[in-house]
Amino acid sequence: MDYKNILFESKNAIAYITVNRPKQLNALNAETIVELNTAITIAEKDKSVRCMIITGAKNKAFIAGADIKEFANHSKKEGEELARKGQELLFDMLENCGTPSIAAINGFALGGGLELAMACHIRIASDNAKMGLPEVSLGVIPGYGGTQRLANLVGKGKAMEMITTAGMISADEANKWGLVNHICQQEELIPTAEKIASKIMRNSPMAIASAIKSVNAGFKTGVDGFEVEKKEFGNCFGTTEFQEGTTAFLEKRKPNF
């Protein structure tokens, strides 16, 4: 598969997906969103891939948002369609993907860039990273799920402040607010993501996918997360991975998933 706007490589059970438009600070145009959808779909289907690391090319930006040049002349209808299609194709599918994803935030993560990081399951940032949802400064609002996911991650009050001021916060502040799980120096970013990935990869992929589904269920309107958890818990029983995990424990050895 040839990509124009992203780099995609699978190595040691990790899919590395890099948004590669450094001249535009990796801004997300429609074509990039489709390519990301393709790469994530391929990674999810490939059972040898156990974790995804998503980052931006070069060391200035993770992703500086949706491509402003592309939507500057959109009508109301086209604007709504942009948000709807983007959320469906990328942000929602990534959040609901059974293969865990780590956003390695290597610089500016603004607008759609922060929204993409928030759709990942885990976020780590380099200490030079800056994060924000500056859309109201452009006369628009976050449209790739930012109003919802930011409030879920940092609480309504801080989300309201970040969104209405359109300001950026530092990696330190993002860590303090729980927006990112870890911070490190830029050269340590991918190794830190790989360390987390290697811990994830010791565990049952089937159980991880069930856990992701259950955690996400608690954030969906009209879905009872506890009910989903009970069902998913039950679904693990009788599977080969459940057998391997419990047998390995009883035999005092490490499981081989």
**The residue to which tokens 């081989």 are assigned:** 256
- Closest CB to ligand CAA among 80 and 227? 80
Instruction: Provide the token pair at 153.
Output: 């991650």
In angstroms, what is the minimal distance from the CB of 25 to ligand CAA? Answer: 4
In angstroms, what is the minimal distance from the CB of 133 to ligand CAA? Answer: 7
* Distance of alpha carbon 172 from alpha carbon 182, whole angstroms: 9
CB 118 within 8 A of CB 149: yes
In angstroms, what is the minimal distance from the CB of 130 to ligand CAA? Answer: 8
* CB count in 10 Å sphere of residue 155: 13
Catalytic site residues? Answer: 115, 135
- Closest CB to ligand CAA among 53 and 63? 63
Parallel/antiparallel/unpaired status of strands 130-132 and 168-170: antiparallel
The set of residues, in sequence order, having a beta carbon less than 8 Å from that of 173 and lying 6+ positions away, is none
Three-state DSSP class for residue 14: strand
- Closest CB to ligand CAA among 3 and 71? 71
- Closest CB to ligand CAA among 35 and 115? 115
| Chain residues in the site for ligand CAA (CB under 6 A) | 24-25, 27, 64-69, 108, 110-112, 115, 134-135, 138, 142-144, 146
In angstroms, what is the minimal distance from the CB of 116 to ligand CAA? Answer: 9
